[in-house]
Amino acid sequence: MSVQHHSFFHEPTSTVTYLVWDEATRAAAVIDPVLDYEPRAAKVSGDQIAEVLRFLEDHGLSLAYVLETHAHADHLTAAARLREATGAKVVIGAHITAVQDYFGKVFGAGDVTPDGAVFDRLVQEGDTLMLGETPIGVLHTPGHTPACVTYLIDGAAFVGDTLFMPDYGTARADFPGGDAATLYRSIQKILALPPETRIFVGHDYLTDTRQTHAWETTVAAQAAENIHLRGGVTEAEFVARREARDATLPPPVLILPSLQVNIRAGDLPPAEADGRVYLRLPVTLT
């Protein structure tokens, strides 16, 4: 078995998109693709996915899957556009239905039925997808959101937002449906993988001591060095630290446009009577 991968870093959202392929069959999967969105102009563009599509063509790859680790709150997914361009199947964790139910009501999205049907396949822990001759395993790793999953491919774990680089820590757990204790238990499942397992994180944010982006680490490094986990931190200690940290964090800049697109698998809301597409902005009155 021979598997290769390539990373695409999206500077505006600090997101890492991964392209993984089976060398024998040239079947490929893209993990967490980004649709460019300029919030001040409400402008959507496909610069990032154009780069992915060029790479696929240049290397003779056939895109079989778009793998979503969860419904992102910090960027719009390009899953729908990639599906339209390539015929790839869009995959997400089965608990996306809970996310659709909650945020469909928040945005008054009457077209969103909370059954996951806008995605091509809903996966649960223990499921296997075949990428050519390469199996893709699934771990359910909720806590950041209820639908978070980790994809296991040839000795590597693609963890989405559950873990970041060790010097940055772990995901926030204060979104609707998130929970710090659940996040801790999910992380323990990842840390129970073989210590040499390569971990690929979904974002990288620079720190005071590191000014070069990185997104690959290992289970062993996370266990020994992650600032929220090292030293054998207990669940209670982790929850206290995580909740204290989350209380200081503002909402992601793109949370409102992102979620109403991402619960639709990357499709924009349907056009209104005037033929234009509108994103909704729920207002909180105090």
Residue 269 lies in a domain: no
Q: How far apart are CA 123 and CA 94, in angstroms?
A: 5
For residue 272, tell me if it sits in a domain.
no
Contact 138, 147 (CB under 8 A): no
Distances (CA, A) of 126 to 121, 136, 149, 159, 235: 14, 10, 11, 15, 25
**257 domain-assigned:** no
The CATH number for 147's domain is: 3.60.15.10
Question: d(Cα 16, Cα 31) in Å, to the nearest integer?
Answer: 9
pTM of the model: 0.96
Region of residue 126 (phi > 0: left; psi between -120 and 50: alpha; otherwise: beta): left
For every residue of 213-281, DSSP letters joined together read: ---EEEHHHHHHH-TTTTTT--HHHHHHHHHHHHTTPPPPTTHHHHHHHHTTTTPPPPP-TTS------
Is residue 270, in this structure, part of any structural domain at all?
no
Is residue 279 in some structural domain?
no
Q: What total of structural domains would you count in the chain?
A: 1
φ and ψ at 7, to 5 degrees?
Answer: -110, 145
The answer to whether residue 273 is domain-embedded is: no
Write out the residue range of the structural domain in which residue 84 sits.
3-251
Single out the residue of 101, 99, 148, 113 nearest to residue 255, CA to CA.
99
204 located within any domain: yes
User: Tens-digit pLDDT profile for the chain (286 aa)?
Assistant: 599 999 999 999 999 999 999 999 999 999 999 999 999 999 999 999 999 999 999 999 999 999 999 999 999 999 999 999 999 999 999 999 999 999 999 999 999 999 999 999 999 999 999 999 999 999 999 999 999 999 999 999 999 999 999 999 999 999 999 999 999 999 999 999 999 999 999 999 999 889 999 999 999 999 999 999 998 899 999 999 999 999 999 999 999 999 999 999 999 999 999 999 999 999 888 8
**Is 7 part of a structural domain of the chain?**
yes
* Interatomic CA distance for residues 115 and 1, integer angstroms: 36
